[in-house]
Amino acid sequence: MKKLFNLLSVFSAVMLAASFMVSCGPQEEPPGPATIPVSSVSISQSSVSLEPGGTVSLTATVNPSDATDKTVIWSTSNQTVATVNNGTVTAVAEGTATITATAGGKSASCSVTVNKKVVAVTSIELDNAEVDIVSGSTITLKATVKPTDATDQKVTWESDNPEIATVDGSGKVNAIKEGVAPKPGERQSCAR
């Protein structure tokens, strides 16, 4: 009888331990919402041209619209040409750079070209406003473009009265015959 009692006690202890192990074992958590991956990224512009100091705002669109993580990381291929901060591109110096928007392993790019800043011509000054030369002789006029850092320094020469005087591409005036060029009463840069 004592043996049977001891056997029952051992059996009860084993069952209690097994029961404790089952009830305290790892429990499976209920499944969470499904992760929706990014399928593509697009940028509002594929290419832009700027001058140094200029800016443009780019917008990145992540698809699908209900993607789990739509965080966009912006980067530039050349910080000395253009920088990017949250989609705002700032031109630094002449050259080209690629701006990239990346989300969920997908990316899109925008090509940025930074051109030399255009400085407009404000005026052209001649070294002589009026010259007297005899037929058959020549004189070379000198033109100064203002401001001196104007982007386009090219000067085009033209005579208003080529029967009296002609001028070549370097400002060399050739007196043909007696007279005045440009004709009196016309707008003039240099009377000859």
Cα gap 122→120, rounded to integer Å: 6
Asked if 58 and 43 count as a contact pair (C-beta separation under 8 A), the reply is yes
Q: Is the pLDDT of residue 183 over 50?
A: no
Q: Residue 70 CA to chain centroid, in angstroms?
A: 24
The DSSP H or E segment spanning 30 is none
Mean pLDDT, all residues of the chain: 82
CB count within 10 Å of CB 161 equals 15
Cα gap 191→139, rounded to integer Å: 12
H helices within the chain, ranges in order?
A: 2-24
Which pLDDT score is estimated for 164?
Answer: 83
Higher local confidence (pLDDT), 152 or 81:
81
Which pLDDT score is estimated for 76?
Answer: 98
Segment 39-65 shows an average pLDDT of 96
Which three-class secondary structure state does DSSP give residue 22? helix
pTM, full prediction: 0.56
The DSSP letter of residue 191 is B
- pLDDT one-digit tens code per residue, 110-157: 999 999 888 888 888 888 878 788 888 888 889 888 888 888 888 898
**Which residues sit opposite 114 in a β-bridge?**
50, 95
Which pLDDT score is estimated for 100?
Answer: 98
